């Protein structure tokens, strides 16, 4: 009987630790972007700005931008907004012509988890 009570106690402790520490299992999910996904903008943006659900590590995060002819568009170095550690900013080295662009992003959150994804936007 003592053995089953001990097992139950360890199970409850493990369950409580999982429920009280959900951040340990979290990942940085893209919550907002500018230009927005599927948006059609009238002017070329000067930068891509992506906001995530948790803080990110800029040294291990970034994005590539592919143009309408499947060419890679030159970008500047990805930086984190120091006032908002959830925000990644990627300056564009050139003005974008009309067409549809694909952003392929990857980030490492402050807890070390990697996530990636992509979205598109268009310039008129």
What pLDDT does 24 receive? 47
Considering the domain boundaries, does residue 7 fall inside one?
A: no
pTM (predicted TM-score): 0.79
- Provide the pairing of β-strand 114-123 with 40-41: parallel
Reported confidence tier of residue 45, pLDDT bands at 50, 70, 90 = very high
Considering the domain boundaries, does residue 3 fall inside one?
A: no
Tell whether the model's pLDDT for residue 72 goes beyond 90.
yes
Cα separation, 103 vs 120, in Å, equals 6
Tell whether the model's pLDDT for residue 64 goes beyond 50.
yes
Considering the domain boundaries, does residue 49 fall inside one?
A: yes
Tell whether the model's pLDDT for residue 2 goes beyond 60.
no
Tell whether the model's pLDDT for residue 16 goes beyond 70.
no
Whether residue 86 contacts residue 33, with contact meaning beta carbons closer than 8 Å, is answered with no
Full domain range(s) for residue 61: 26-123
Tell whether the model's pLDDT for residue 10 goes beyond 60.
no
Structure tokens at 31: 């919550």
What pLDDT does 19 receive? 46
What pLDDT does 60 receive? 96
Q: How many domains are there within the chain?
A: 1
Q: What is the CATH number of the domain that holds 68?
A: 2.60.40.1220
Considering the domain boundaries, does residue 97 fall inside one?
A: yes
- The DSSP line for the chain is -HHHHHHHHHHHHHHHHHHH-GGGG----EEEEESPTT-EESS--SEEEEEESS-B-GGG-EEEEE-TTSPEEPB---EE-TT-TTEEEEEBSSPPPSEEEEEEEEEEBTTS-EEEEEEEEEE-
Considering the domain boundaries, does residue 40 fall inside one?
A: yes
The label of the residue with tokens 């630790």 reads 17
Share of the chain above pLDDT 90, in %: 78
Considering the domain boundaries, does residue 102 fall inside one?
A: yes
């Amino acid at each position: 009987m003592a053995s089953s009570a001990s097992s139950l106690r360890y199970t409850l402790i493990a369950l409580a630790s999982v429920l009280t520490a959900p951040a340990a299992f979290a990942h940085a999910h893209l919550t907002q972007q500018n230009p927005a996904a599927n948006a059609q903008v009238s002017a070329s943006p000067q930068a891509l700005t992506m906001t995530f659900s948790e803080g990110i590590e800029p040294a291990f995060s970034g994005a590539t931008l592919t143009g309408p002819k499947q060419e890679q568009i030159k970008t500047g170095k990805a930086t984190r907004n120091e006032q908002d550690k959830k925000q990644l900013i990627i300056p564009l080295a050139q003005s974008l012509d009309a067409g549809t662009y694909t952003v392929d992003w990857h980030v490492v959150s402050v807890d070390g988890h990697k996530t990636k994804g992509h979205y598109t936007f268009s310039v008129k």
